[in-house]
Structure 1
């Protein structure tokens, strides 16, 4: 009950703090991209889009790599290698987010600025997805922030996958190997079906971590409220907007930032709700 009370209190406090904007502008606040504190014009669309896009990029990059790491450590790597590699990956989770942000700004942003002209010249000419890779080689942008987020959430997802892969009974895998299955077939047909609920839970755990990340994203995102189709252009996110502007915000501006915090709470809650729904559906199928 105390946990539920704290959760409800956090939601209601952010809702009350952002009431001036939420009750005045309503849906306009959600679907407008205007952000001008001087004229008291605020729109949450750009931060919401930035948060979702960077988190989606991080998930698309981190999940396959995490799966490969977990597969390597549980099925392929020799025993003497598993311990050190696992410890090294888990150490990534202990690095503060501001360190990731500084690494991203001083090391990764110049690297991205050097390869973005190549991305624009190659992927930018593809008819359907070309608009995603067009823009000046700034280094700062949604793609850079998504990659940094992927590095941050990778140890969480890979650790969960590795732990649940190790819970698969050895007799199931040995029986499959005895029937002539390859390592990939054992993983795909035995290990994943046995652990899919926990794997999905680990993926959504990483997604929740990406949605709420602040400092690392603030360093490399560019902090621009302009909405563009290009992933190479600067953008903003809910958490970075709050971190950048809350210190100097007063009046309606402060209310808008608190309302953004409430929206981040809602987005995270929806993501967790979807995760619970998917896990429940999987459990029903397993029961059949």
Structure 2
């Protein structure tokens, strides 16, 4: 009998003689483990509810003073203490929607190129560039937008957009305006550049998760690259792609510094995308340190609560959409 066998033989009676104690110890450890992880999960819900309750309490004065008019009014006058949130809400939603309309197709194309088309020697540099873009602070994007892209927009893009797209019946009003270089369109483009790396990274990872056998089978049946992407890759990863898109939307809705630099921070309602506007985050960042009345501070905190509500609604809709997609995939 070897030395290891002798050690096992000597240890086995001790282990087998007290199985109830070991089972009780394991059960006790399992209970502690479940309570610990449940406490971590409940902490997230507690923090979420606390943030919502604190912002609602802080903005209660504004809600009591203006009522529903706070959501429908376009006035924002700190001197006369009259505040309305319609312009910041409108600017937040429009710039975020513009960012999605620009970023999603570009991100989809980059992710498909990296996973299906690009040669191996080119994938690493492009993937590294995407990671670098994701790591750039938002204030750098804002400074670049104000000092580089804004003047370029005013000198070249804005006049062309006004002359060519502004004359289109129906939608032309969206592209009419002076070539200021700052406004909702500029903010939407800068936001699109900011969220594009995040959406691209998610799409790239989920596209790589598609089983190689599925794609090879499609190619063997004579499918082209486009057919494989559209009929195999996209349906297989649809839920994850939608989740990545809404992740980018959540980043766009709450962006502060970059939007503050290039949006113009004007409290005016305009249908033109070329005109300056404001967002919820930019108004809070610009005015919170200068708010000297309780009503002004309460209005800014109320804007924060509205941003919380808008983000929650968007993420809830994303969750519902993912659940519906999961049911369809299950069928």
Under a length normalisation based on structure 2, what TM-score does the superposition of the two structures give? Answer: 0.86
Counterpart of 1:195? Answer: 237
Q: Of 35, 39, 44, which residue of structure 2 is paired with 1:3?
A: 44
* In 1: Cα distance, 2:70 partner to 2:164 partner: 37
* In 1: Cα distance, 2:284 partner to 2:57 partner: 16
Is residue 2:206 matched to residue 1:161? Answer: no
Q: Of 28, 52, 55, which residue of structure 1 is paired with 2:93?
A: 52
* In 1: Cα distance, 2:310 partner to 2:61 partner: 20
Counterpart of 2:67? Answer: 26
* In 1: Cα distance, 2:103 partner to 2:114 partner: 16
Q: Of 193, 218, 224, which residue of structure 2 is paired with 1:176?
A: 218
Is residue 2:139 matched to residue 1:98? Answer: yes
Counterpart of 1:122? Answer: 164
For residues 190-244 of structure 1, the C-alpha deviation after alignment (integer angstroms, 9 at most, x for no partner) is: 0000000000000000000000000000000000011011000000000000000
Q: Of 284, 287, 301, which residue of structure 2 is paired with 1:258?
A: 301
Q: Secondary structure at the match of 1:39?
A: coil
* In 2: Cα distance, 1:73 partner to 1:117 partner: 35
* In 2: Cα distance, 1:121 partner to 1:206 partner: 32
Q: How many residues align?
A: 288
Is residue 2:121 matched to residue 1:72? Answer: no
* In 2: Cα distance, 1:225 partner to 1:248 partner: 16
For residues 144-195 of structure 1, the C-alpha deviation after alignment (integer angstroms, 9 at most, x for no partner) is: 0000000000000000000000000000000000000000000000000000
- Greater relative contact order structure (CA < 8 Å, 6+ sep): 1
Q: Which has the larger Rg?
A: 2
Under a length normalisation based on structure 1, what TM-score does the superposition of the two structures give? Answer: 0.99
Q: Secondary structure at the match of 1:229?
A: coil
| Alignment gaps of 5+ in structure 1 | none
* In 2: Cα distance, 1:24 partner to 1:252 partner: 8
- How many angstroms does 1:23 deviate by? 1.9
Is residue 2:305 matched to residue 1:279? Answer: no
* In 2: Cα distance, 1:176 partner to 1:63 partner: 26
Q: Of 250, 269, 279, which residue of structure 2 is paired with 1:208?
A: 250
Counterpart of 1:267? Answer: 310
* In 2: Cα distance, 1:217 partner to 1:225 partner: 14
* In 1: Cα distance, 2:131 partner to 2:197 partner: 6
Q: Secondary structure at the match of 1:191?
A: helix
* In 2: Cα distance, 1:233 partner to 1:73 partner: 37
* In 1: Cα distance, 2:53 partner to 2:272 partner: 36
Q: Secondary structure at the match of 2:223?
A: coil
CA RMSD of aligned residues (A): 0.6
* In 2: Cα distance, 1:187 partner to 1:122 partner: 34
Q: Secondary structure at the match of 1:38?
A: coil
- How many angstroms does 1:24 deviate by? 2.0
Q: Secondary structure at the match of 2:179?
A: coil
Q: Of 288, 303, 324, which residue of structure 2 is paired with 1:246?
A: 288
Counterpart of 1:134? Answer: 176
- How many angstroms does 1:111 deviate by? 0.7
